[in-house]
Amino acid sequence: MTPSLPAFALIRMLHAGLLLLFLLAAVFGLGAILAAHTQGLTDETTRALASFYDLDRPVLVRVIAFAKEMLQWNWGQSMVGGVPVTQTLMLALPVTLSYSVSSLLVILALAIPLALAASRAPGAPLDRGVRMVTVTIFCLPGFVLAALLFFPQDPL
């Protein structure tokens, strides 16, 4: 017997909540545990590092401060260039959006006619072929699909 839609949604939300709780505990709890195992550092250096990374504050306070900073788009400084992470993301956003929109348009231009043609004869070779290609594409990891679809401008 399958659960009703509200029961299914509730179960999924509980699973998502448990996953979120686990991830928060792993991210914010393991830092304090790892900070306790500092070999070769003086107590003063360990305390300074714990204070710098806010590991001396309670976990709940750190989680709330983290959420507040995320909601304010203050994602800290990049370790690579020293520029704000938000600035780096905003530089990449136009290119990402152009790729996303163009790929969506290509997908829709291919998917709608193929789906209409396949639906005219359920179980026909075209229907099975479209279904097989669709499932195969969904099963491939993104980087494999990107490598398969990459067409260089200058062939060797």
Q: What is the pTM of this model?
A: 0.53
Q: Is residue 125 part of a domain?
A: yes
In order of 28, 52, 59, 63, 74, the CA distances from 25 in angstroms are 5, 20, 8, 9, 22
Query: Do 66 and 103 lie in a common domain?
Result: no
**Same domain as 94, residue 65:** no
| pLDDT range class, residue 9, cuts 50, 70, 90 | very high
- Asked whether residue 96 falls in the same domain as residue 60, the answer is no
Is residue 111 within 8 A of residue 122, CB to CB? The reply is no
pLDDT tens-place string over residues 37-76: 767 778 888 888 888 878 888 888 888 988 899 999 898 8
Q: How far separated are the first and last CA of the chain, in Å rounded?
A: 58
Q: Where are the alpha helices (DSSP H) in the chain?
A: 5-24, 30-36, 43-52, 59-71, 85-120, 125-139, 142-149
Range of the domain at 115: 88-149
Number of domains in the chain: 2
To the nearest whole number, what is the mean pLDDT of the chain?
Answer: 85
**Do 58 and 95 fall within a single domain?**
no
